């Protein structure tokens, strides 16, 4: 295993949520931390996100949601990841998620939820400590 190989992370905006400032800030911070960030843009269908994760052989998927649709879209994506044989890909959620919903997302298989005001260093440290299950 080449230890210097950068982690590949797909950052995704799903559904009709058009607020992409947050995901752009995270994209840049992860890029500057040495990650390879794949950002396919706004208004992605869950199926398109899963196709991207598979074709790009990503280690992580970060889903940004500010539209309140997390309890609908996140389980759909996780279900599609499993169906595509991609359950080794770690899933993160960022954005506006009510406290009460966080345990539900964890139960569905989300590794971590990063809310507003999360220091970038926390996300970077988390990803570095977890590493990759795709390329274990």
CA 96 to CA 64: how far, in whole Å?
Answer: 9
Alpha carbons 25 and 120: distance in angstroms, whole number: 9
Residue 40 CB neighbours (<10 A)? 16
**Residue from the set 14, 15, 17, 27 that interacts with other proteins by CB under 8 A:** 27
Q: Does 119 bind other proteins (CB under 8 A)?
A: no
> Considering only CA atoms, which of 51, 59, 122, 130 is closest in space to residue 89?
59
Total residues in contact with other proteins, by rule CB under 8 A: 35
Which of 14, 15, 23, 35 is close enough to bind other proteins by CB under 8 A? Answer: 35
Closer to other proteins by Cβ: residue 80 or 110: 80
Secondary structure letter of residue 62 according to DSSP? E
Which positions from 40 through 99 interact with other proteins, judged by CB under 8 A?
A: 40-41, 44-45, 47-48, 50-52, 54-57, 84-86
Min dist CB 44 to other proteins, Å, is 7
Residue 55 CA: distances (Å) to CA of 10, 48, 89, 95, 105? 11, 10, 12, 25, 25
Q: Does 14 participate in binding other proteins (rule CB under 8 A)?
A: no
Please report how close the Cβ of residue 32 comes to other proteins at its closest, in angstroms.
6
d(CA 117, CA 64): 14
Summarize as ranges the residues that interact with other proteins (CB under 8 A).
Answer: 1-2, 4-6, 8, 27-28, 30-41, 44-45, 47-48, 50-52, 54-57, 84-86, 135
């Amino acid at each position: 295993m080449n230890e210097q190989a950068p982690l590949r992370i797909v950052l995704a905006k799903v559904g009709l949520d058009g607020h992409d400032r947050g995901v752009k800030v995270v994209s840049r911070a992860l890029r500057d931390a040495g990650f390879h960030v794949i950002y396919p843009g706004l208004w992605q269908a869950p199926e398109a996100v899963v196709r991207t994760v598979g074709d790009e052989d990503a280690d992580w998927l970060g889903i940004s949601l500010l539209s309140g649709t997390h309890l609908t879209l996140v389980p759909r994506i996780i279900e599609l990841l499993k169906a595509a044989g991609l359950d080794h890909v770690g899933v993160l959620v960022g954005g506006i998620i009510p406290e009460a919903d966080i345990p539900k997302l964890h139960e569905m298989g989300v590794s971590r939820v990063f809310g507003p005001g999360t220091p970038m260093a926390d996300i970077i440290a988390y990803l570095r400590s977890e590493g990759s299950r795709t390329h274990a």
